[in-house]
Structure 1
Amino acid sequence: MTEARHFVLAAGGTGGHMIPAHALAEELSRRGHHVALITDERGARIPGLFDGVQTHILPAGRLAGGPLGWLRGGRAILEGRAMAGRLYEAFAPAAVVGFGGYPALPALLAALKVKVPTVVHEQNAVLGRVNRLLGGRVDAIATAYPDVRRLKPAWFGKTHLVGNPVRDSVLALRDLPYPALDHVGVFRLLVTGGSQGASVLSQVVPAALGMLPLNLRRRLQVVQQCRVEDIEQVRADYAALSIPAELATYIADMAGRLALAHLVISRAGASTIAELTAAGRPAILVPLPSATDDHQTYNAREMAKAGGARAIAQPRFTAVELAKQMQKLALEPGALENAARRAHACGRPYAASDLADLVESLA
């Protein structure tokens, strides 16, 4: 039996950082280890994650906004590093694992200062700013993709491809068949813009569905995540089209929705793609154009190249283009089932276990 150890996971900001950290926490806990989370206020507010895990909210400044912003950010980082250092004195972690983003920076800096082993996990196909900043100093870099941009050749020797951990509830879908679909049955569409929603999906998707042939449109059932400011307009749009639609600002039971979905329209966030490929669900991906270093475009490439998804750049994401792509998938016999198999083949179902193995080896 593995000796019980203490591990600190540092993540915050969005679900893209928090979900893989949550999956690792579950795996380490199953192995008998003790886990603590360092996060920021936004990360701590995401529901359904880290229940029962010791959680510490630390200051996490951003080095942006000119000289005054750098000064404020630097002070917050130093304050967070000092607080993390005091936590380590009491918790004595065997390793600290960072998941990118500025909320992870103070925790990793404190670990480096006291020579605790460190790992950073990169969810995206482009190495993020904090992981680039610390890549030369940490003990290991874990990646979700085989090809990661901005990863320096000097770091290849300590880089490990593990994939992007997903929640157990999503991973359980991997062994279930793609939901049955024929030319007259209900066609279930899931639309999600990640933890922050996406206004462009609210604008384009209902309009595109209204352009579909009547025999296809009558089969649709939609579950869609919307921003608060968009949800009533989207509700009215679907009502005018007589399309049954369940709308929410946050989808808590993502596993349950994925289990029923025949097609997903979404952004190309790292956790979204990891869940799509874990479950084996075909998708139309719309990368967020303002994402740092355009990382969502690179995230989408592996799944799109394999045939499990179609990627549409936002400037080309119009109602006409979406309706055309949906008809190709929905009306061509076997197209969705084939895309589902190809999406499934891109999944890395052992990501949480492989990352836990790496963390344990450094401890």
Structure 2
Amino acid sequence: MSGASRHYVLAAGGTGGHLIPAFALATELERRGHHVALLTDARGAQLPGKPDFLPVHLIPAGRFGKNPLHWPRGIAAIREGRRMALRLFESFAPSAVVGFGGYPVFPALLAALAAKVPSVVHEQNAVLGRVNRLLARKVDAIATSYPDVARLSPRHAGKVHLVGNPVRAGVLALRDEPFPAFTADGLLRVLVTGGSQGARVMSEVVPDGLAMLPPALRQRLQVTQQCRPEDLETVRARYRGHDIPAELGTYFEDMAARLADAHLFIGRAGASTIAELTAVGRPAILVPLPIATDDHQAANTREIVRAGGARMIRQDKFTAKELAKQIQAMAQRPETLATAAHAAWNCGRPKAVEDLADLVESFGGTALMDVIRVDGGDGRAASGEFAAQGAARDMMR
């Protein structure tokens, strides 16, 4: 879709999982001639990768813990965030507000409801997040990344749109590149990450697991692994002791290039990780974060595992022996790894950002409607699971 230049506000929590797709949508909307602003928290303002054109507005988010004594402070923060968002809407006049999950989305979407601005939420995971669950009945559209999303009520089926999870342009550009040649006597390049902080379990298990591979396979290994700073020297010593060449770092700026070269990925199952693996088509061994809310990382693995593009190992079963067993099953024959790569590729949704932008633009109205604001609300009361639900519902009325 195209048309008159419009204004859109994106709201996202301060993690890469929320902000990477928000940045991708901002870039696509700007490419289409629209103006975009971002609402986030202080942590989100510091995340690298923000497009230069994108202005950032910080709002208090407010969190509810299990202790009711903390609820008044959380409610006050949400109300203040709502007021700040409303002030932005008065000057920026958005055609729609798009939430990507995380606590800052709640006051931003409350403001959109109050101002009768159309609203969309995007869910990156295979389980609907808590904030999105609370807002699901009120928003105009729910964009999903997976065909099956747990905790999403069938009552909302009419407003659900499967678009996928937008990924960075540099990763998406690799989709049409062939899987790197993997032969019976060539290198086996393994990429290991543990999320933004580098999971300690990867440092403890992966070097010893790779060392347990048959000599013919172990001697062909070339490893790139992200580690926590405090784990670097220990992991380096382990690889040296196993005589396995490994490049270690706490952060790799050229992660897209390293993913392009990799034959096998080992790591967590965050939404952005899965989206990038399926965009490029890389086989994986996935170890979901066991403390992830609603076990959503395990849910994220279901589609790619079912397709044959990855294997999932629960962390309590993630031992060196089990890892070696799974790598052997995937990599002992070149065609097995290539087949898994193609299966992962088939799970990709490369048009996610275009489809999401089309959906957002569909609530943009006409140029005249941008001046004469129309009611995008449906007047229904909110429901959902959220700590201090009663207070939250009161704020949505």
Q: TM-score range by the shorter chain?
A: over 0.9
Residue deviations 1:177-224, cap 9 Å, x none?
000111222211111122232111111101101111223222211111
Name the CA distance, whole Å, in 1 between partners of 2:122 and 2:194.
23
1:20 equivalent to 2:21? Answer: yes
Q: Who is 2:381 aligned against?
A: none
Q: Who is 2:33 aligned against?
A: 32
Q: Is the 8 A contact 1:273 1:300 kept in 2?
A: yes
- The alpha-carbon deviation at position 290 of structure 1 amounts to 0.6
Q: For 1:301-316, what aligned pairs fall within 5 Å after superposition?
A: 301-316=302-317
Q: For 1:272-291, what aligned pairs fall within 5 Å after superposition?
A: 272-291=273-292
Name structure 2 gaps, 5 residues minimum.
Answer: 365-397
Q: Who is 1:358 aligned against?
A: 359
Q: Which range moved further: 235-244 or 115-124? A: 235-244
Residue deviations 1:27-81, cap 9 Å, x none?
1111111111111122222212333310112111211141122222212111111
Name the CA distance, whole Å, in 2 between partners of 1:102 and 1:310.
32
Q: For 1:207-218, what aligned pairs fall within 5 Å after superposition?
A: 207-218=208-219
Q: For 1:318-329, what aligned pairs fall within 5 Å after superposition?
A: 318-329=319-330
Name the CA distance, whole Å, in 2 between partners of 1:320 and 1:88.
56
Name the CA distance, whole Å, in 2 between partners of 1:252 and 1:81.
35
Q: Is the 8 A contact 1:14 1:195 kept in 2?
A: no
Structure 2 SS opposite 1:212: coil
Name the CA distance, whole Å, in 2 between partners of 1:246 and 1:68.
48
Name the CA distance, whole Å, in 1 between partners of 2:263 and 2:3.
41
For residue 28 of structure 1, what is the amino acid of its counterpart?
L
Q: Is the 8 A contact 1:12 1:44 kept in 2?
A: no
Q: Who is 1:111 aligned against?
A: 112
Residue deviations 1:259-299, cap 9 Å, x none?
10000001111110010000000000111111100111111
Name the CA distance, whole Å, in 2 between partners of 1:64 and 1:80.
18
Q: Who is 1:260 aligned against?
A: 261
Name the CA distance, whole Å, in 2 between partners of 1:210 and 1:49.
39
Name the CA distance, whole Å, in 2 between partners of 1:50 and 1:76.
28
Highest RCO, 1 vs 2 (Cα 8 Å, sep ≥ 6) = 2
Q: Who is 1:141 aligned against?
A: 142
Structure 2 SS opposite 1:175: coil
What TM-score, normalized by structure 1, do the two folds share?
0.97
Q: Is the 8 A contact 1:206 1:234 kept in 2?
A: yes
Name the CA distance, whole Å, in 2 between partners of 1:235 and 1:68.
47
The count of aligned residue pairs is: 363
What TM-score, normalized by structure 2, do the two folds share?
0.89
Q: Is the 8 A contact 1:48 1:252 kept in 2?
A: no
Residue deviations 1:329-357, cap 9 Å, x none?
11124111000000000000110000000
Percent of aligned positions that are identical = 68
For residue 307 of structure 2, what is the amino acid of its counterpart?
A
Name the CA distance, whole Å, in 2 between partners of 1:140 and 1:272.
25
Name the CA distance, whole Å, in 2 between partners of 1:3 and 1:146.
32
For residue 8 of structure 2, what is the amino acid of its counterpart?
F
Name the CA distance, whole Å, in 1 between partners of 2:202 and 2:29.
37
Name the CA distance, whole Å, in 2 between partners of 1:152 and 1:307.
28
Q: For 1:27-66, what aligned pairs fall within 5 Å after superposition?
A: 27-66=28-67
Q: Who is 1:175 aligned against?
A: 176
Q: Which has the larger radius of gyration?
A: 2
Q: Who is 2:369 aligned against?
A: none
For residue 179 of structure 1, what is the amino acid of its counterpart?
P
Name the CA distance, whole Å, in 2 between partners of 1:7 and 1:208.
48
Q: Is the 8 A contact 1:125 1:295 kept in 2?
A: yes
Structure 2 SS opposite 1:7: strand
For residue 66 of structure 1, what is the amino acid of its counterpart?
N
Structure 1 SS opposite 2:175: helix
Structure 1 SS opposite 2:19: helix
Q: Who is 1:229 aligned against?
A: 230
Q: Which range moved further: 328-337 or 248-257? A: 248-257
Q: For 1:68-217, what aligned pairs fall within 5 Å after superposition?
A: 68-217=69-218
Residue deviations 1:203-247, cap 9 Å, x none?
110110111122322221111112223222112212222222222
Q: Is the 8 A contact 2:182 2:334 kept in 1?
A: no
Structure 1 SS opposite 2:229: coil
Q: Is the 8 A contact 2:309 2:340 kept in 1?
A: yes
Name the CA distance, whole Å, in 2 between partners of 1:224 and 1:162.
31
Q: Which range moved further: 347-356 or 74-83? A: 74-83
- The alpha-carbon deviation at position 95 of structure 1 amounts to 0.6
Structure 1 SS opposite 2:106: helix
Structure 2 SS opposite 1:230: helix
- The alpha-carbon deviation at position 94 of structure 1 amounts to 0.8
Name the CA distance, whole Å, in 1 between partners of 2:35 and 2:118.
16
Q: Is the 8 A contact 2:14 2:47 kept in 1?
A: no
Structure 1 SS opposite 2:248: strand
Q: 1:58 to 1:153 in 2, by over 3 A?
A: same
Q: Is the 8 A contact 2:164 2:352 kept in 1?
A: yes
